[in-house]
Amino acid sequence: MTILVISALLFCTGIVGFCLRRNAVLMFIFSELMVLGAVVASVGYALLWAEEKGQILGLVLLTTAACEAAMALLIIGRIYRTKRTLDIKLLSSRGEQEE
Amino acid sequence: MSVAEFVALLPVLAGLGGMVWLSSPVYVAICFGGILLVIAGWLAINGAEFIGIGLVIIYAGAVVVTFLFLIMLANQTGQAEYERAPNRPVLAWAAGILLFLMMLFSTVWREGVPGLVNRSQMQAQTGIEKITSDRRHVDQQNRAPFSRTARLSVELFSRFFWLIQGSALLLTIVMMNCVVIARLQKDRRGDTNDYSSD
């Protein structure tokens, strides 16, 4: 059960950090923390029920998270090069002005 | 929760606290890396060696290093106003705490709540027996050290072969996508230089 509590802690801290921060990179780190919580939960259930399927789901989640990280970091880097800031509020207000 | 489990939980709690309270993105990324290492060790000890090693290689070895690279590239020191000021703190904490309580209720505390299908009922309906810690200990003693990993590899390359191939295809598509986007940026910069020289 401890592993499920840890996964819940990871996911909820990810939610808190994602809502608290305004830096795009930090928001993305916290979203990765949420994915880690999901991975730990699936592996935790796999260990609890002695099933390999949960570990396979965790492996697929890891792959998806790696893909997501590659794409998101590329996009964030591109935004920084053009806008010279990572402040989400400023970026969204600039986007509204451009519209 | 045993004392050993609680002691193992402490570094995770410290890392999560550091991630929430520290303002410097570098320290936040390092805390994230530390949490990953502790979780990977925890999984490896509990019999999920493959996922534990995968976490270290994929997350700590690739994703966190890329995070740090981007943070250094963007020169994020944690001193800017938007990095220190919290965004909607009351809403964030309320959402996090409420969700945590709901998760605890649905996983740990739901035993004995009338009207909800609890774990014993689920075992009776599905016929799947929960592995107790004693039985898991006996199983681990009776088997070879990496038998669980061996069984996982058999499953991966038999029943879930196409799932793994699909994941590999997804990774390849993302890699090609990244190359295309990076080349687009390069071409546009080349165009800009040409126009400015005119």
* pLDDT tens per residue across span B81-90: 777 777 788 8
Its pTM stands at 0.81
C-alpha pair distances (Å), B38 with each of A45, B8, B55:
19, 8, 10
Which positions 66-85 of B are in contact with A (Cβ < 8 Å)? 66-67, 70-71, 73-74, 76, 80, 82-83, 85
Residue of A5, A13, A48 with shortest CB distance to B16: A13
Cα–Cα distance measured from residue B98 to residue B105, given in angstroms and rounded to the nearest whole number = 11
**Chain A residues within 8 A of B100 when measuring between CB atoms:** 8-9, 12
pLDDT confidence of residue B64: 87
Per the model's pLDDT, the better-predicted residue between B163 and B189 turns out to be: B163
Q: What is the CA radius of gyration of chain B?
A: 23
Mean pLDDT of chain B: 77
Fold of A2-98: Helix Hairpins (1.10.287)
pLDDT at B178 over 50: yes
Residue of A20, A47, A88 with shortest CB distance to B89: A20
pLDDT at B140 over 80: no
pLDDT at B151 over 50: yes
Contact at CB, A9 and B100, closer than 8 angstroms: yes
Per the model's pLDDT, the better-predicted residue between A49 and B121 turns out to be: A49
**Chain A residues within 8 A of B175 when measuring between CB atoms:** 70
Which positions 49-68 of B are in contact with A (Cβ < 8 Å)? 50-51, 54-55, 58-59, 62-63, 66-67
